Amino acid sequence: MTVSTKIKESIERSSWIRKMFEEGAKLKSQFGAENVFDFSLGNPDLDPPEAFFEVLKKMSLEKKPGVHGYMPNAGFPYVRDAIAKKISREQEVTITGNSIIMTCGAAGGMNVALKTILDPGDEVIVLKPFFAEYGFYISNHNGLMVQVDTAKDFSIDIEAIQRAITEKTRAIIINSPNNPTGKIYSESEIESLCKLLDSKKPGGRPIFLIADEPYREIAYDGKTVSPILSKYKNAIVINSYSKSLSLPGERIGYIAISPNMEEHDLIMAGLNLCNRILGFVNAPAMMQRIVAELTDSSVAVDIYKKRRDIFAKGLREAGYSFADPEGAFYLFVKTPTEDDVAFIGHLQKFNILAVPGVGFGGPGYMRLAYCVHESVIEKSLPKFKEALETFK
């Protein structure tokens, strides 16, 4: 065999999101892109804010020594200090650049964090439904993913988490606003979770609370994302600028840990080392410098909200059911059969591309990414209705 057994198995169960993206490319070549309704990939279609281009232009002209060279693996110190001021406001805690690592996006940050804290066989709890790549990230570092159900409205089920904690539990990952549901966990839910984790120390080790927050700024109807770092001392926040600034291809993000973290300096040393030895070395230099000047900038969230409202209204009128997303840019919609893969295949007959919920640990649902132009949403709605009416 030319590849490892583990990778071969991973290829066979690889991300449904990418599979549907590839299927979309085939349909678009066959029918034309304007006749395919692709809701498969969470790839932001909004341009970055104008401030990004202004800073990019300015920095492209700079010829200061070292601006494109290596820096400390954790990132430029002044960049980390700038990000720390933003995080201090969001997380309601005083944090400095000494608690921050600049990373190659949230995915890079998650892998760095997991490599730092996991021993072989350690368990990481994830809440269903969950971002499809978590299982691969955990497996990358010889951990075991433990899936725990949420409540019917996708809120945190504290009792289910308590039952899932074992002597091998090392971390729990939460994702709010959630991909794929758009659920924002309330402050009271977060406080209850932190209280539970405070009472647990399996094997004499703390349980890390990892908050994956790339959609933090994309929240609707006055909703806000609860702080984590001020509520639990062994908390890790991972974020990126892929969604808030529409920069997914630039691979820039960060890890921030609680300033009160147990063995804070050792954890930071581990994160710093893992950022290097995983091959990232450091986050992209120019992007670090740019985001340091854009801590108060974001894309126009109202555009996503308008799309959500158009899509939700049209799908309900067509006969579909779902919980309104409170953030992010996804609808997690019930399929008319528990075999969500079968219904996804049926939708393709109408040139509609969606991702089956089974890929997120949520069979019987489908994820629709509405980071597409309004015209795509509006033109797709009669097709969704026809698909539901003809499904047998």
Mean pLDDT by 10 residues, the chain (392 residues): 82 69 76 86 94 96 90 97 98 98 98 98 98 95 98 97 98 98 98 96 94 98 97 98 97 98 98 98 97 96 98 98 97 97 94 94 97 96 98 88
Same domain membership, residue 175 and residue 127 = yes
Q: What is the predicted pLDDT for the residue at 28? A: 79
Q: What pTM was estimated for this model as a whole?
A: 0.95
Co-location of 104 and 14 in the same domain: no
Element of type H or E holding 355: strand 355-356
Instruction: Among 291, 320, 350, identify where a domain stops.
Output: 291
Do both 153 and 264 map to the same domain? yes
pLDDT attached to residue 329? 98
Q: Look up tokens 């969950």; give the residue.
A: 130
- Helix H segments across the chain? 5-12, 16-31, 50-60, 77-91, 105-117, 134-140, 158-164, 187-198, 264-277, 285-291, 301-318, 340-348, 374-390
Which pLDDT score, from 0 to 100, does residue 30 have? 81
What six digits make up the tokens of 12? Answer: 């066979």
Give the pLDDT score at 17: 67
Residue 372 lies in a domain: yes
Quote the pLDDT of residue 193.
98
Determine the pLDDT at residue 45.
95
- The count of domains in the chain is 2
334 forms beta bridges with 365
Q: Which amino acid is at 333?
A: V
Answer yes or no: is 37 within a domain.
yes
Reference 106, options 257, 252, 249, 278; nearest CA is: 252
Residue-range definition of the domain harbouring residue 89? 62-291
pLDDT at 7: 85
Q: Which residues pair with 100 in a beta bridge?
A: 256
- Is 278 in the same domain as 335? no
**Using CA atoms, how far apart are residues 48 and 152, in angstroms rounded to an integer?**
35
DSSP structure class, residue 127: E
Count other Cβ atoms within 10 Å, centred on residue 226: 21
Cα separation, 256 vs 259, whole angstroms = 9
Query: Do 133 and 258 fall into the same domain?
Result: yes
Distance CA 390, CA 265 (A): 60
